[in-house]
């Protein structure tokens, strides 16, 4: 009955709108957006009926590289293709971890389901960690005093030039010794 169908759609919408991620479906061949969840609508407005890559990417002349990888997929069983990637979006100024999967849409045609989670904070933290590691490595390597990192058994894991000079051994020899 029509009431059951309406209730099923409402339940479906509740589930997809509860994700803290962008969810959209686009036609496999035309890239026309067929569905977006509320998170997606907040970020980009209502883009249903529009070409996804024209709405979600800035200055892009064609479909995204991630979708092009599967553009020649054979027709048939679903879902033969899935893909994951991380990407920076220059419109929203955010990093995303995205997963796409080929699905069969309600009209029977192939479609692309994409779920994109904002990972901007993680990328900021990773960048800060890499910068901190770079500073530590520079400090360690260029210190005027002998320094080493050892494991719990006293085996050298890393030694700097000053320690090598002080002890009269090469880095390779020290790394094979016990402190």
Q: Residue written as tokens 């995205």?
A: 98
* pLDDT of 76: 52
How does pLDDT run across 69-126, given as a tens digit for each residue? Answer: 555 555 555 445 678 899 898 888 999 999 998 899 989 999 999 999 999 999 999 9
Mean pLDDT on 58-66? 77
* pLDDT of 130: 97
* Inter-residue contact 162 to 144 (CB < 8 Å): yes
* pLDDT of 56: 87
DSSP, collapsed to helix, strand or coil, labels residue 49 as: coil
Mean pLDDT on 65-72? 63
Q: How confident is the model at residue 177 (pLDDT cuts 50, 70, 90)?
A: confident
Check residues 74 and 3 and name the one with the higher pLDDT.
3
> Residue 29: is it exposed, middle or buried by C-beta count within 10 angstroms (0-12/13-18/19+)?
exposed
Mean pLDDT on 143-167? 94
Give the whole-angstrom CA distance, residue 8 versus residue 144. 70
* pLDDT of 99: 92
Q: Which residues contact 2 (CB under 8 A, 6 or more apart)?
A: none
* Cα of 163 vs its chain's centroid, Å: 41
pTM: 0.73
> Residue 148: is it exposed, middle or buried by C-beta count within 10 angstroms (0-12/13-18/19+)?
middle
**C-alpha torsion 153→154→160→162, nearest 10:** 180
Give the whole-angstrom CA distance, residue 2 versus residue 20. 30
Widest distance between CA atoms in the chain: 86
How does pLDDT run across 51-61, given as a tens digit for each residue? Answer: 998 888 877 78
How does pLDDT run across 19-52, given as a tens digit for each residue? Answer: 999 999 999 999 999 999 999 999 899 999 999 9
Q: Which residues contact 179 (CB under 8 A, 6 or more apart)?
A: 148, 150, 154, 155, 156
**Rounded percentage of the chain residues whose pLDDT exceeds 90:** 64
* pLDDT of 113: 93
Say if residue 14's pLDDT is above 70. yes
- The mean pLDDT value of the chain amounts to 89
Give the whole-angstrom CA distance, residue 130 versus residue 137. 10
DSSP 74: P
């Amino acid at each position: 009955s029509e009431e059951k169908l309406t209730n099923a759609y409402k339940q479906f919408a509740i589930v997809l709108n509860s994700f803290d991620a962008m969810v959209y479906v686009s036609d496999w061949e035309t890239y026309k957006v067929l569905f977006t969840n509320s998170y997606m609508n907040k970020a980009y407005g209502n883009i249903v009926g529009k070409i996804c890559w024209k709405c979600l990417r800035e200055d892009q002349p064609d479909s995204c590289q991630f979708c092009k990888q599967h553009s020649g997929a054979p027709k048939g069983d679903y879902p033969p293709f899935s893909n994951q990637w991380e990407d920076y979006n220059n419109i929203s100024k955010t990093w995303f971890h995205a997963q796409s999967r080929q699905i069969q849409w309600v009209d029977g045609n192939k479609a692309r389901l994409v779920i994109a989670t904002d990972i901007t904070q993680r990328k900021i933290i990773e960048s800060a960690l890499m910068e901190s590691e770079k500073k530590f490595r520079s400090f360690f390597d260029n210190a005027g005093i002998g320094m080493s990192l050892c494991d719990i058994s006293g085996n050298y894991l890393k030694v700097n030039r000053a320690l090598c000079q002080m002890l009269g051994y090469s880095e390779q020899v020290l790394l094979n010794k016990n402190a």
